Amino acid sequence: MKIETEPREDHQVKLIVEVEPQPFEDAKQRAARKLARQVKIPGFRPGKAPYPVIVRHLGEPAIIEEAVEILVNDIYPQAIQQAEIEPFGMGTLENIVSLDPPTFEFIIPRKAEVQLGEYASIRIPYETQPVSETQIDEVLSNLRERQAVVEQVERAAQVGDNLRVRLSGERLQAKEGEDATLVREREYPITIEAEDSEQSVNWPFPGFSSRLVGLSAGDEVEIEHTFPEDYEHEYLQGEAVVFHARVEQVNSRSLPELDDEFASTIGDYSSLEELRTAIRQDLEKHAKEEYNQEYDEKLIEEVVNISTIKYPPQMLEQEIETVIDRLKNNLAQQNLDIDLYLKTRQIDMQGLREEVTPVAEARLKKSLVLLELGEAEKIFINPDELQTETNRTLDELSYYMEEKEFRRMLQTDEARSNLVSNVMIEMLIERTQDRLRDIARGLVTEVEPASSESAGDEQQPETTPTAENPLLTETETVSGDAVEPPDADRQEKSEE
């Protein structure tokens, strides 16, 4: 077998493989026997007719077509091995150059390659902000709000009251073909906040609730509002809207006293000071997690920028599919489907693929770099720890998924293997990020990155991952064309 290799710029390689005539002749004999078992040839039992008879009955083109498939399946793995190619996935038969002698062209996607830059020299200041007393007070205020005593009253609405309001909203200048309805009419709970409240979470726009002060049950009002040009939701920027509101019920709200007794109702706390301490610790934990996430994003971006990353187009296509699949899952959780989403966005599937390509490419590069860093820093996962984390993941999935769906997800060996692989890669990425963060903070005094050759010489656990199946941990968000209702009412809205 003669092999000629032609590397391509897209990190694939063309293999031109020439085979001796005899293997092709053998493949034709095998092809004839296979086809003869599938058809009835008069005078012969299935598969027992002589080769010339089969050729006359089925025609030589059919024999050759089947023989080529048989021969390609035989020689492909040998050609990969002889050419010393590490493939990312299955190649494709690009062309049959000749059948005399049999010569084939294959296009083979190569395994991704990452050459890390001098990541050990990267330094980024690590400056977390302390938790303030104001933040603790805000949490306590929210806890008091949850325990507020609500009572219906026969008076005009005041700041602090909770109203049941039948609300709808329409665009004043709807574009041609655009639905003028922005908020479908239904009843919403709205708490009246002071107009100058710094913690305003007013919906459907800041300051809306203060416009309801002085209204009683049965009163109606129309409120016009133009969203600013720099509004956070692009589809509402500069939009002029009129909201129709009818007050159905006015409720007063009485908040509990902020004392030791209140603390005991929240949990196993003996005093208000103990509750404040617990809140501070929780805020510090979450603040550190959020800061680390932002810090790690900047850090890995630096490493990606100084590294050389090569991968075949098939790997990016796989990543794009992953992003779209996760979008579909997010939509399904909101009782939506991809077709409705595309229609709302006024794009087709090809447009969506083009839109998510930069995101998928950035995530792919990040994952490849992190996996290479994990190998360079000799970070591996202990099998016992992997088992524990896999069990935890299974418990979490079984809680959120229907039993039938959960069982179907794990019914094959491949599915179970993929789950373990994804858990392992997620653990590896997390630990690699921790290591890289320590390096960038200057907490690691000596860094001696191992080359891929030296790392491969060591005895490694069976849980060492590969870079072909990077796990993406970011979550996608789904944009929409309707104003979101208050958090407390979202579940009720989705059920409608």
Q: Are 91 and 159 part of one and the same domain?
A: no
Q: Is 491 inside any structural domain?
A: yes
Q: For residue 176, what are the domain limits?
A: 148-254
Q: Record the tokens describing residue 450, joined without a space.
A: 């191992």
What is the predicted pLDDT for the residue at 398?
84
Q: Is 136 inside any structural domain?
A: no
User: Which residue among 85, 111, 137 closes a domain?
Assistant: 111
Q: Is 267 inside any structural domain?
A: no
Whether the per-residue pLDDT at 491 is higher than 60: the answer is no
Q: Are 346 and 380 part of one and the same domain?
A: yes
Residue 446 banded pLDDT, cuts 50, 70, 90: low
Could you give the number of structural domains in the chain? 3
Q: Is 118 inside any structural domain?
A: no
Q: Are 314 and 449 part of one and the same domain?
A: yes
Q: Are 190 and 282 part of one and the same domain?
A: no
Q: Are 218 and 304 part of one and the same domain?
A: no
Q: Are 157 and 98 part of one and the same domain?
A: no
What is the predicted pLDDT for the residue at 38?
85
Q: Is 248 inside any structural domain?
A: yes
Q: Is 120 inside any structural domain?
A: no
Q: Which of 65, 74, 62 is nearest to 19 (CA)?
A: 74
Q: Are 355 and 451 part of one and the same domain?
A: yes
What is the predicted pLDDT for the residue at 297?
93
Maximal CA-CA distance, the chain:
101
Cα Rg of the chain, angstroms? 32
Q: Which of 47-51, 61-65, 356-360, 398-402 has the lowest mean pLDDT?
A: 398-402
Residue 448 banded pLDDT, cuts 50, 70, 90: low
Place of tokens 């990016």: 316
What is the predicted pLDDT for the residue at 412?
84
Q: Are 366 and 299 part of one and the same domain?
A: yes
Query: How large a percentage of the chain has pLDDT more than 90?
Result: 61
Q: Are 199 and 305 part of one and the same domain?
A: no
Whether the per-residue pLDDT at 487 is higher than 90: the answer is no
User: Span 80-84, mean pLDDT?
Assistant: 92
- For the segment 377-396, what is each residue's pLDDT rounded down to a tens digit? 999 899 999 999 999 999 88
- Enter the DSSP assignment of 87: B
User: Which residue among 62, 96, 111 closes a domain?
Assistant: 111
Q: Record the tokens describing residue 367, joined without a space.
A: 């994952």
Measured CA to CA, the distance from residue 487 to residue 202 in angstroms comes to 11
Beta bridge partners of 96: 104
**CATH code at position 95:** 3.30.70.1050
User: Which residue among 84, 111, 138 closes a domain?
Assistant: 111
Q: Is 309 inside any structural domain?
A: yes
**CATH code at position 215:** 3.10.50.30
User: Span 264-282, mean pLDDT?
Assistant: 95
Q: Which of 474, 479, 111 is nearest to 323 (CA)?
A: 474
Q: Is 268 inside any structural domain?
A: no
What is the predicted pLDDT for the residue at 198?
53
What is the predicted pLDDT for the residue at 489?
40
Q: Are 303 and 238 part of one and the same domain?
A: no
pTM: 0.66
User: Span 436-443, mean pLDDT?
Assistant: 93
Pairing mode, if any, of strands 113-115 and 162-171?
unpaired
What is the predicted pLDDT for the residue at 494?
38
